[in-house]
Amino acid sequence: TSLLYEGTPEQITTIISGAGIRFGDNKGRYIVQAREKLMGEDAILSLPNLLVDDPKKARENVVDNIKGLGYKEASHFLRNIGYEGLAILDRHILRTLCEACVIDCYPSTIGKKTYMELEEKLGEYSQRLGIPLDALDMVMWSAKTGRVFK
């Protein structure tokens, strides 16, 4: 953990690339940039200001202010710290939505507009099934990967 607080981009890249994380070079730099924005001597952001009560607004704040985090990653981060109602739309979830005929096809790229539309469709599907969105995408992910997280 000390590398997160003090490591150089190169040191962090070595660790995360060794752990099999894709795009390690970029992520090492992004981690250091986020650390400097949030914790450095010249910090220009604070997590309490980014993490407002509304989950979707909090996600927008994270995406807009933390380089390297898109909607999926920001949703994942926020869900891990207690936010609800945000979909984590990875390839496993999208394939499952295609198979269930909730969406027409697996999108080749996902920008903000597409992510919001897909999240809305997943939300509608979760309501029809009577399963909270947060639980449904986790069940879909577990069914596709064979792994379960507590």
Q: Which residues are catalytic?
A: 72, 90
Q: What are phi and psi of 6, to 5 degrees?
A: -130, -10
Tokens linked to 117: 């539309």
Query: Which residues, other chains included, contact 35 with Cβ-Cβ below 8 Å and sequence gap of 6+?
Result: 4, 5
Task: Return the sign of the alpha-carbon dihedral for residues 21, 9, 81, 121.
Answer: negative
Counting DSSP H helices and E strands in the chain, the numbers are: 9, 0
Cα–Cα distance for residue pair 33/66, rounded to 1 Å: 8
User: If DSSP states are collapsed to H, E and C, what string results for 50-75?
Assistant: HCCCCHHHHHHHHHHHCCCCCHHHHH
- Decide if 141 contacts 93 (C-beta within 8 A): yes
